[in-house]
Chains A and B, each alone.
Chain A
Amino acid sequence: MPRLDAVRRHEIVFSLNGAPARVEVEPRTLLTDALRHGLGMTGTHVGCEHGVCGACTVAIDGEPARACLTLAVAVEGCEVRTVEALAPEPGRLGVLQAAFRRHHALQCGFCTAGILMSLDAYLRCRPHATRAELTEVIGGHLCRCTGYAPIIAAAVEAAAVLRGESIEETPSHA
Protein backbone atom coordinates (compact mmCIF):
# COMPACT_ATOMS: atom_id res chain seq x y z
CA MET A 1 0.00 0.00 0.00
CA PRO A 2 1.34 3.48 -0.75
CA ARG A 3 2.24 5.64 2.17
CA LEU A 4 -0.54 8.07 3.07
CA ASP A 5 0.69 11.63 3.27
CA ALA A 6 0.06 13.41 6.58
CA VAL A 7 -1.20 16.67 5.10
CA ARG A 8 -3.55 15.19 2.50
CA ARG A 9 -7.00 13.75 2.84
CA HIS A 10 -7.46 10.17 1.68
CA GLU A 11 -10.64 8.36 0.81
CA ILE A 12 -11.38 5.29 2.87
CA VAL A 13 -14.09 2.80 2.06
CA PHE A 14 -15.72 0.52 4.61
CA SER A 15 -19.09 -0.87 5.53
CA LEU A 16 -21.12 1.17 8.00
CA ASN A 17 -24.18 -0.49 9.49
CA GLY A 18 -24.44 -2.76 6.49
CA ALA A 19 -24.18 -0.08 3.80
CA PRO A 20 -21.05 1.03 1.93
CA ALA A 21 -19.51 4.20 3.31
CA ARG A 22 -16.78 6.50 2.03
CA VAL A 23 -15.14 9.34 3.83
CA GLU A 24 -12.11 11.52 3.29
CA VAL A 25 -9.74 11.70 6.22
CA GLU A 26 -6.21 12.64 7.17
CA PRO A 27 -4.09 9.76 8.49
CA ARG A 28 -4.41 11.23 11.99
CA THR A 29 -8.22 11.41 11.94
CA LEU A 30 -9.80 9.29 14.66
CA LEU A 31 -12.72 7.05 13.79
CA THR A 32 -14.89 9.08 16.18
CA ASP A 33 -14.30 12.23 14.12
CA ALA A 34 -14.65 10.44 10.81
CA LEU A 35 -18.07 9.16 11.92
CA ARG A 36 -19.29 12.34 13.55
CA HIS A 37 -17.80 15.10 11.41
CA GLY A 38 -17.12 13.23 8.19
CA LEU A 39 -20.34 11.25 7.97
CA GLY A 40 -22.66 13.13 10.33
CA MET A 41 -23.26 10.03 12.42
CA THR A 42 -23.37 11.69 15.80
CA GLY A 43 -24.80 8.75 17.75
CA THR A 44 -21.25 7.73 18.68
CA HIS A 45 -20.21 9.99 21.53
CA VAL A 46 -16.79 11.28 22.56
CA GLY A 47 -15.98 11.61 26.23
CA CYS A 48 -12.36 11.32 27.24
CA GLU A 49 -10.78 10.74 23.84
CA HIS A 50 -8.12 8.49 25.31
CA GLY A 51 -9.78 5.13 25.79
CA VAL A 52 -10.97 5.37 29.37
CA CYS A 53 -14.69 6.16 29.38
CA GLY A 54 -16.11 3.91 26.65
CA ALA A 55 -18.59 6.50 25.33
CA CYS A 56 -17.21 6.08 21.80
CA THR A 57 -17.47 2.28 21.64
CA VAL A 58 -18.52 0.83 18.28
CA ALA A 59 -18.17 -2.65 16.81
CA ILE A 60 -15.48 -3.30 14.21
CA ASP A 61 -15.80 -6.64 12.44
CA GLY A 62 -18.11 -7.73 15.23
CA GLU A 63 -15.74 -6.89 18.09
CA PRO A 64 -16.18 -3.93 20.42
CA ALA A 65 -13.66 -1.13 19.93
CA ARG A 66 -12.95 2.32 21.26
CA ALA A 67 -13.50 4.51 18.20
CA CYS A 68 -11.33 7.20 19.81
CA LEU A 69 -8.40 4.76 19.83
CA THR A 70 -8.96 3.72 16.23
CA LEU A 71 -7.51 5.59 13.28
CA ALA A 72 -10.11 5.99 10.58
CA VAL A 73 -7.59 4.84 7.95
CA ALA A 74 -7.27 1.55 9.82
CA VAL A 75 -10.91 0.55 9.21
CA GLU A 76 -10.49 0.46 5.44
CA GLY A 77 -12.46 -2.59 4.28
CA CYS A 78 -13.84 -3.36 7.75
CA GLU A 79 -17.42 -3.67 8.93
CA VAL A 80 -18.26 -0.92 11.39
CA ARG A 81 -21.46 -0.95 13.40
CA THR A 82 -22.67 2.03 15.41
CA VAL A 83 -25.60 2.76 17.67
CA GLU A 84 -27.60 3.99 14.67
CA ALA A 85 -27.93 0.33 13.64
CA LEU A 86 -29.78 -0.82 16.74
CA ALA A 87 -33.30 0.41 16.00
CA PRO A 88 -35.09 -1.90 13.54
CA GLU A 89 -36.86 1.08 11.96
CA PRO A 90 -37.37 4.76 12.73
CA GLY A 91 -39.60 5.19 15.77
CA ARG A 92 -38.99 1.69 17.13
CA LEU A 93 -36.39 0.61 19.65
CA GLY A 94 -34.16 -2.43 19.47
CA VAL A 95 -34.29 -5.05 22.22
CA LEU A 96 -31.39 -3.57 24.19
CA GLN A 97 -32.68 -0.05 23.81
CA ALA A 98 -36.16 -1.04 24.97
CA ALA A 99 -34.73 -2.78 28.03
CA PHE A 100 -32.68 0.34 28.85
CA ARG A 101 -35.82 2.38 28.64
CA ARG A 102 -37.85 0.03 30.84
CA HIS A 103 -35.15 0.04 33.51
CA HIS A 104 -34.31 3.75 33.41
CA ALA A 105 -30.80 2.69 32.52
CA LEU A 106 -29.96 6.13 31.20
CA GLN A 107 -30.32 9.65 32.46
CA CYS A 108 -28.25 12.12 30.44
CA GLY A 109 -27.55 9.38 27.89
CA PHE A 110 -23.99 10.41 27.21
CA CYS A 111 -22.54 6.99 28.00
CA THR A 112 -25.43 5.01 26.57
CA ALA A 113 -24.44 4.56 22.93
CA GLY A 114 -21.13 3.05 23.91
CA ILE A 115 -22.62 0.71 26.47
CA LEU A 116 -25.29 -0.46 24.03
CA MET A 117 -22.65 -1.24 21.41
CA SER A 118 -20.49 -3.19 23.86
CA LEU A 119 -23.47 -5.25 24.98
CA ASP A 120 -24.70 -5.72 21.43
CA ALA A 121 -21.32 -7.07 20.30
CA TYR A 122 -20.96 -9.25 23.38
CA LEU A 123 -24.43 -10.78 23.27
CA ARG A 124 -24.13 -11.58 19.58
CA CYS A 125 -21.30 -14.00 20.28
CA ARG A 126 -22.30 -14.97 23.81
CA PRO A 127 -26.08 -15.09 24.05
CA HIS A 128 -25.89 -17.01 27.32
CA ALA A 129 -23.75 -14.42 29.06
CA THR A 130 -24.19 -14.39 32.84
CA ARG A 131 -24.89 -11.38 35.00
CA ALA A 132 -21.26 -11.43 36.14
CA GLU A 133 -20.00 -11.40 32.56
CA LEU A 134 -22.35 -8.60 31.56
CA THR A 135 -21.27 -6.62 34.63
CA GLU A 136 -17.68 -7.00 33.52
CA VAL A 137 -18.53 -5.75 30.03
CA ILE A 138 -20.28 -2.73 31.53
CA GLY A 139 -17.18 -2.27 33.70
CA GLY A 140 -15.42 -1.03 30.57
CA HIS A 141 -17.62 2.07 30.62
CA LEU A 142 -18.06 5.08 32.83
CA CYS A 143 -21.54 6.35 33.62
CA ARG A 144 -21.77 9.44 35.79
CA CYS A 145 -25.53 9.31 36.30
CA THR A 146 -27.12 5.95 36.92
CA GLY A 147 -24.98 4.12 39.46
CA TYR A 148 -24.88 1.17 37.03
CA ALA A 149 -27.50 -1.01 38.77
CA PRO A 150 -30.27 -0.24 36.23
CA ILE A 151 -27.81 -0.73 33.35
CA ILE A 152 -26.93 -4.19 34.61
CA ALA A 153 -30.61 -5.05 35.13
CA ALA A 154 -31.42 -3.90 31.59
CA ALA A 155 -28.54 -5.91 30.13
CA VAL A 156 -29.57 -9.09 31.93
CA GLU A 157 -33.16 -8.66 30.82
CA ALA A 158 -32.24 -7.87 27.22
CA ALA A 159 -30.08 -11.00 27.10
CA ALA A 160 -33.08 -13.06 28.21
CA VAL A 161 -35.34 -11.43 25.63
CA LEU A 162 -32.80 -12.06 22.88
CA ARG A 163 -32.71 -15.73 23.90
CA GLY A 164 -36.47 -15.80 23.48
CA GLU A 165 -37.27 -16.19 27.18
CA SER A 166 -40.34 -14.46 28.54
CA ILE A 167 -39.70 -11.72 31.06
CA GLU A 168 -41.72 -9.99 33.70
CA GLU A 169 -42.30 -6.50 32.41
CA THR A 170 -41.84 -4.77 35.71
CA PRO A 171 -38.74 -2.66 36.12
CA SER A 172 -36.47 -4.03 38.83
CA HIS A 173 -35.42 -0.49 39.58
CA ALA A 174 -37.94 2.09 40.71
Chain B
Amino acid sequence: MKPARFDYLRAASLDEALAAIARHGDEARIVAGGQSLVPMLNMRLTKPGLLVDVMRIETLRTPRRENGALVVPAGTRQAILLDRPHVADELPLLAAALPFVGHVQTRARGTLCGSVAHADPSAEIPLCLVALEGEVHLRSAKRARRVRADDFFVGMMVTDRAHDELVEAIGLPLRAPGTGYAFAEVGRRHGDFAIVACAAVVDGRRMRLAVGGVADRPTARDWPLLDGTALDDALNALAWDLGAGEDIHATARYRRDLVRRLGRRVLEQAAEEARRCQG
Protein backbone atom coordinates (compact mmCIF):
# COMPACT_ATOMS: atom_id res chain seq x y z
CA MET B 1 0.00 0.00 0.00
CA LYS B 2 0.96 3.65 -0.23
CA PRO B 3 1.27 6.13 2.61
CA ALA B 4 -1.47 8.68 3.26
CA ARG B 5 -0.47 12.27 2.52
CA PHE B 6 1.89 14.18 4.80
CA ASP B 7 4.00 17.30 4.65
CA TYR B 8 7.75 16.75 4.70
CA LEU B 9 10.53 18.73 6.28
CA ARG B 10 14.15 17.79 5.76
CA ALA B 11 15.66 19.46 8.82
CA ALA B 12 19.05 21.06 8.27
CA SER B 13 19.76 21.52 11.97
CA LEU B 14 18.75 20.10 15.30
CA ASP B 15 17.02 23.38 16.20
CA GLU B 16 14.93 23.28 13.05
CA ALA B 17 13.81 19.71 13.79
CA LEU B 18 13.00 20.49 17.43
CA ALA B 19 11.07 23.63 16.52
CA ALA B 20 8.98 21.63 14.03
CA ILE B 21 8.05 18.89 16.49
CA ALA B 22 7.36 21.49 19.21
CA ARG B 23 4.93 23.28 16.89
CA HIS B 24 3.12 20.22 15.58
CA GLY B 25 2.95 17.97 18.63
CA ASP B 26 1.65 14.48 17.96
CA GLU B 27 0.77 15.40 14.36
CA ALA B 28 4.48 15.20 13.54
CA ARG B 29 6.64 12.09 13.33
CA ILE B 30 10.40 11.97 13.14
CA VAL B 31 11.91 9.83 10.42
CA ALA B 32 15.54 8.75 10.31
CA GLY B 33 16.42 5.57 8.41
CA GLY B 34 12.73 4.82 7.88
CA GLN B 35 13.03 1.06 8.30
CA SER B 36 10.41 0.89 11.04
CA LEU B 37 8.31 3.97 10.26
CA VAL B 38 7.92 3.67 6.49
CA PRO B 39 6.37 0.17 6.64
CA MET B 40 3.86 1.60 9.12
CA LEU B 41 3.19 4.53 6.79
CA ASN B 42 2.78 2.19 3.84
CA MET B 43 0.29 0.07 5.74
CA ARG B 44 -1.38 3.24 7.04
CA LEU B 45 -0.94 2.13 10.61
CA THR B 46 0.16 5.70 11.23
CA LYS B 47 -0.90 8.84 9.37
CA PRO B 48 1.20 11.79 10.51
CA GLY B 49 0.51 15.26 9.18
CA LEU B 50 4.20 16.09 9.03
CA LEU B 51 7.33 14.02 8.68
CA VAL B 52 10.54 15.55 10.01
CA ASP B 53 13.59 13.93 8.42
CA VAL B 54 16.66 14.18 10.67
CA MET B 55 19.15 12.32 8.47
CA ARG B 56 20.77 15.43 7.01
CA ILE B 57 21.64 16.95 10.37
CA GLU B 58 25.45 16.88 10.42
CA THR B 59 25.76 17.04 14.19
CA LEU B 60 23.71 13.89 14.65
CA ARG B 61 25.90 11.69 12.54
CA THR B 62 28.99 10.53 14.39
CA PRO B 63 29.17 8.43 17.57
CA ARG B 64 31.46 9.71 20.32
CA ARG B 65 32.91 8.30 23.52
CA GLU B 66 31.76 10.02 26.70
CA ASN B 67 32.17 8.90 30.34
CA GLY B 68 32.59 5.21 29.64
CA ALA B 69 29.82 5.05 27.06
CA LEU B 70 29.55 5.27 23.32
CA VAL B 71 27.01 7.98 22.59
CA VAL B 72 25.30 7.03 19.34
CA PRO B 73 23.31 9.90 17.83
CA ALA B 74 20.03 9.77 15.92
CA GLY B 75 21.67 9.75 12.50
CA THR B 76 24.01 6.75 12.99
CA ARG B 77 22.98 3.84 10.82
CA GLN B 78 23.22 0.30 12.18
CA ALA B 79 25.68 -0.79 9.48
CA ILE B 80 28.01 2.08 10.38
CA LEU B 81 28.17 0.98 14.00
CA LEU B 82 28.72 -2.63 13.02
CA ASP B 83 31.59 -1.61 10.70
CA ARG B 84 33.29 0.41 13.42
CA PRO B 85 36.82 -0.83 13.96
CA HIS B 86 37.08 -2.71 17.27
CA VAL B 87 33.34 -2.70 17.83
CA ALA B 88 33.61 -6.20 19.29
CA ASP B 89 36.05 -4.88 21.92
CA GLU B 90 34.11 -1.72 22.68
CA LEU B 91 30.61 -3.09 22.59
CA PRO B 92 30.69 -6.89 22.46
CA LEU B 93 26.97 -7.24 23.09
CA LEU B 94 26.02 -4.94 20.22
CA ALA B 95 28.53 -6.61 17.94
CA ALA B 96 26.85 -9.94 18.69
CA ALA B 97 23.27 -8.70 18.39
CA LEU B 98 23.36 -6.27 15.45
CA PRO B 99 23.78 -8.99 12.80
CA PHE B 100 20.33 -10.21 13.87
CA VAL B 101 18.70 -6.82 13.25
CA GLY B 102 16.88 -7.14 9.93
CA HIS B 103 19.17 -7.76 6.97
CA VAL B 104 22.26 -6.19 5.42
CA GLN B 105 19.92 -4.10 3.26
CA THR B 106 17.86 -2.70 6.15
CA ARG B 107 20.87 -2.17 8.43
CA ALA B 108 22.41 -0.01 5.72
CA ARG B 109 19.54 2.47 6.27
CA GLY B 110 18.11 1.84 9.72
CA THR B 111 19.44 3.73 12.73
CA LEU B 112 19.96 2.57 16.31
CA CYS B 113 17.98 5.47 17.77
CA GLY B 114 15.12 4.82 15.35
CA SER B 115 14.80 1.27 16.61
CA VAL B 116 14.86 2.52 20.20
CA ALA B 117 12.21 5.18 19.50
CA HIS B 118 10.03 2.61 17.72
CA ALA B 119 10.25 0.28 20.75
CA ASP B 120 9.13 -2.98 19.25
CA PRO B 121 9.14 -5.45 22.17
CA SER B 122 11.11 -8.04 20.24
CA ALA B 123 13.72 -5.69 18.73
CA GLU B 124 17.36 -6.40 19.53
CA ILE B 125 18.73 -2.87 19.97
CA PRO B 126 16.30 -1.89 22.76
CA LEU B 127 17.08 -5.23 24.39
CA CYS B 128 20.82 -4.53 24.39
CA LEU B 129 20.28 -1.01 25.70
CA VAL B 130 18.31 -2.44 28.64
CA ALA B 131 20.82 -5.24 29.27
CA LEU B 132 23.70 -2.75 29.34
CA GLU B 133 21.77 -0.29 31.55
CA GLY B 134 22.25 2.38 28.94
CA GLU B 135 20.55 5.73 28.65
CA VAL B 136 18.30 7.49 26.18
CA HIS B 137 19.13 11.14 25.54
CA LEU B 138 15.99 13.11 24.80
CA ARG B 139 15.87 16.70 23.66
CA SER B 140 13.06 19.15 22.99
CA ALA B 141 13.24 22.83 22.08
CA LYS B 142 12.98 23.60 25.79
CA ARG B 143 15.07 21.02 27.59
CA ALA B 144 17.33 17.99 27.42
CA ARG B 145 17.06 14.98 29.70
CA ARG B 146 18.46 11.50 30.03
CA VAL B 147 16.34 8.49 30.88
CA ARG B 148 17.54 5.06 31.98
CA ALA B 149 16.68 2.42 29.40
CA ASP B 150 14.65 0.49 32.00
CA ASP B 151 12.40 3.52 32.44
CA PHE B 152 12.28 4.55 28.80
CA PHE B 153 10.44 1.50 27.48
CA VAL B 154 6.92 1.67 28.84
CA GLY B 155 4.99 -0.85 26.75
CA MET B 156 4.44 -2.17 23.26
CA MET B 157 5.76 0.66 21.04
CA VAL B 158 5.17 3.07 23.91
CA THR B 159 8.03 4.99 25.46
CA ASP B 160 8.66 7.80 27.90
CA ARG B 161 9.35 10.21 25.01
CA ALA B 162 7.03 13.21 24.86
CA HIS B 163 5.69 14.36 21.49
CA ASP B 164 8.00 17.36 21.38
CA GLU B 165 11.09 15.29 22.13
CA LEU B 166 13.62 13.72 19.81
CA VAL B 167 15.68 10.66 20.73
CA GLU B 168 18.86 12.62 20.17
CA ALA B 169 21.18 9.76 21.08
CA ILE B 170 21.54 6.60 23.08
CA GLY B 171 24.41 6.01 25.51
CA LEU B 172 25.77 2.47 25.31
CA PRO B 173 28.12 1.61 28.20
CA LEU B 174 31.47 0.37 26.89
CA ARG B 175 32.85 -3.05 27.80
CA ALA B 176 33.80 -3.09 31.48
CA PRO B 177 36.84 -5.01 32.70
CA GLY B 178 36.11 -8.46 34.10
CA THR B 179 32.66 -8.52 32.53
CA GLY B 180 31.22 -11.01 30.05
CA TYR B 181 28.46 -10.38 27.52
CA ALA B 182 26.37 -12.76 25.44
CA PHE B 183 23.41 -12.63 23.10
CA ALA B 184 21.19 -15.32 21.54
CA GLU B 185 17.83 -15.39 19.85
CA VAL B 186 15.41 -17.77 18.21
CA GLY B 187 13.37 -16.63 15.23
CA ARG B 188 11.71 -18.31 12.28
CA ARG B 189 14.33 -17.04 9.87
CA HIS B 190 17.50 -15.06 10.42
CA GLY B 191 16.51 -11.40 10.21
CA ASP B 192 12.91 -11.92 11.29
CA PHE B 193 11.74 -10.52 14.56
CA ALA B 194 12.85 -12.76 17.39
CA ILE B 195 10.36 -15.05 19.07
CA VAL B 196 12.60 -14.75 22.12
CA ALA B 197 15.89 -12.88 22.40
CA CYS B 198 18.18 -12.88 25.43
CA ALA B 199 21.13 -10.71 26.40
CA ALA B 200 23.32 -11.35 29.44
CA VAL B 201 25.87 -9.27 31.31
CA VAL B 202 27.88 -11.04 34.00
CA ASP B 203 30.72 -9.77 36.18
CA GLY B 204 32.40 -11.11 39.33
CA ARG B 205 29.46 -10.24 41.57
CA ARG B 206 26.19 -10.36 39.71
CA MET B 207 24.42 -11.49 36.60
CA ARG B 208 21.87 -9.53 34.58
CA LEU B 209 19.56 -11.07 32.00
CA ALA B 210 17.39 -9.07 29.62
CA VAL B 211 14.64 -10.79 27.64
CA GLY B 212 12.90 -9.50 24.51
CA GLY B 213 9.93 -10.81 22.55
CA VAL B 214 7.93 -12.04 25.54
CA ALA B 215 6.64 -9.15 27.65
CA ASP B 216 5.42 -5.89 26.10
CA ARG B 217 8.91 -4.41 26.45
CA PRO B 218 12.46 -5.67 26.96
CA THR B 219 12.69 -6.70 30.59
CA ALA B 220 15.75 -7.34 32.75
CA ARG B 221 16.45 -9.10 36.05
CA ASP B 222 19.51 -8.91 38.27
CA TRP B 223 20.67 -11.85 40.31
CA PRO B 224 23.73 -12.66 42.39
CA LEU B 225 25.93 -15.26 40.69
CA LEU B 226 23.69 -18.33 40.48
CA ASP B 227 24.14 -21.76 39.00
CA GLY B 228 22.60 -25.22 39.17
CA THR B 229 19.05 -25.49 40.42
CA ALA B 230 19.11 -22.00 41.90
CA LEU B 231 19.57 -20.64 38.39
CA ASP B 232 16.89 -22.99 37.05
CA ASP B 233 14.46 -21.68 39.64
CA ALA B 234 15.29 -18.05 38.93
CA LEU B 235 14.85 -18.54 35.19
CA ASN B 236 11.63 -20.43 35.67
CA ALA B 237 10.20 -17.67 37.85
CA LEU B 238 11.23 -15.08 35.26
CA ALA B 239 9.71 -17.12 32.42
CA TRP B 240 6.34 -17.12 34.22
CA ASP B 241 6.60 -13.49 35.36
CA LEU B 242 6.97 -12.21 31.81
CA GLY B 243 3.43 -13.31 31.02
CA ALA B 244 4.20 -14.96 27.68
CA GLY B 245 1.38 -14.87 25.15
CA GLU B 246 0.50 -17.10 22.26
CA ASP B 247 0.52 -15.97 18.63
CA ILE B 248 0.99 -17.33 15.14
CA HIS B 249 4.74 -17.72 15.73
CA ALA B 250 4.83 -19.60 19.01
CA THR B 251 2.83 -20.86 21.95
CA ALA B 252 3.20 -19.31 25.39
CA ARG B 253 4.72 -22.54 26.64
CA TYR B 254 7.35 -22.55 23.90
CA ARG B 255 8.24 -18.95 24.75
CA ARG B 256 8.67 -19.82 28.43
CA ASP B 257 10.85 -22.72 27.45
CA LEU B 258 13.00 -20.46 25.29
CA VAL B 259 13.42 -18.00 28.17
CA ARG B 260 14.68 -20.83 30.38
CA ARG B 261 16.99 -22.33 27.81
CA LEU B 262 18.32 -19.29 25.97
CA GLY B 263 18.55 -17.47 29.30
CA ARG B 264 20.75 -20.17 30.75
CA ARG B 265 22.84 -20.37 27.61
CA VAL B 266 23.67 -16.66 27.48
CA LEU B 267 24.26 -16.39 31.23
CA GLU B 268 26.68 -19.31 31.14
CA GLN B 269 28.43 -17.95 28.10
CA ALA B 270 28.78 -14.49 29.63
CA ALA B 271 29.96 -15.96 32.96
CA GLU B 272 32.57 -18.00 31.14
CA GLU B 273 33.80 -14.93 29.30
CA ALA B 274 33.87 -12.94 32.55
CA ARG B 275 36.02 -15.62 34.17
CA ARG B 276 38.37 -15.63 31.20
CA CYS B 277 38.95 -11.92 31.24
CA GLN B 278 39.42 -11.86 35.00
CA GLY B 279 42.33 -14.15 34.21
Does residue A84 face the partner (Cβ distance < 8 Å to B)?
A: no
Which residues of chain A (33-75) have a CB below 8 Å from chain B?
33, 49-51, 54, 57, 60, 63-66, 68-71, 73-74
Residue of B nearest to A1 (CB): B10
Asked if B108 and A3 make an inter-chain contact with CB atoms under 8 angstroms apart, the answer reads no
Asked if B190 and A28 make an inter-chain contact with CB atoms under 8 angstroms apart, the answer reads no
Per a CB cutoff under 8 Å, which of B11, B79, B104 touches A136? Answer: B104
Asked if B7 and A65 make an inter-chain contact with CB atoms under 8 angstroms apart, the answer reads no
Asked if A28 and B108 make an inter-chain contact with CB atoms under 8 angstroms apart, the answer reads no
A-side interface residues, number (CB < 8 Å): 34
Q: How large, as a class, is the contact surface on chain B?
A: 35 or more
Which residues of chain B (1-33) have a CB below 8 Å from chain A?
1-12, 20, 31
Asked if A1 and B12 make an inter-chain contact with CB atoms under 8 angstroms apart, the answer reads yes
Given contacts A33-B2, A63-B108, contact A69 B39 (CB under 8 A): yes
Q: Mark A2-43, 1 if CB is under 8 A from B, else 0.
A: 011111000000000000000000111010010000000000
Residues of A with C-beta under 8 A to B34: 69-71, 74
Can you identify 29 A-B contacts, CB atoms within 8 angstroms?
Answer: A1-B12, A3-B7, A3-B50, A6-B49, A27-B51, A28-B2, A28-B3, A28-B4, A30-B38, A50-B38, A63-B108, A63-B109, A64-B105, A66-B106, A68-B42, A69-B39, A69-B42, A71-B8, A71-B38, A71-B51, A74-B10, A118-B105, A136-B104, A137-B103, A137-B104, A137-B105, A139-B189, A140-B105, A140-B191
A-B interface, 10 closest residue pairs, ranked by CB to CB distance from nearest? A140-B103, A27-B8, A6-B5, A63-B108, A50-B39, A69-B38, A64-B105, A28-B3, A4-B8, A140-B105
